[in-house]
Amino acid sequence: MATKGEHHAAPAPTIEPGYSVEVFNAIGETLAVLTLPESHLESLRRDEILSVRSLASHAA
C-alpha cells in the first residue's frame, strides 16, 4: 500500500498538527482515508525498498 497526505496546521498551541492520509493499493484504488496526528507518521528513507503484498494475507 502507498499513501499520500495533506498537512493540517495545529488549530491551537495545545493540539498537534496532523495529516489527512489516503491509503491506496498498487493500481491506485483508494482503500482508506484517515486523519492522523503528525507523531503517528514516519518519513520514508532512502535506504528503504517498497514491496507489494496481498491485502488478504494481512486480514485478521
**pLDDT tens, 16-46?**
999 898 888 888 899 899 999 989 988 889 9
Nearest CA among 11, 15, 33 for reference residue 24: 33
pLDDT at 48 exceeding the cut of 80: yes
pLDDT at 1: 47
pLDDT at 7 exceeding the cut of 80: yes
Q: What does the domain layout of the chain look like in residue ranges?
A: 2-58
Residue type, 20: S
Residue 60's pLDDT band (cuts 50, 70, 90) = low
Cell digits of residue 54 = 496481498
Start-to-end CA span in the chain (Å): 17
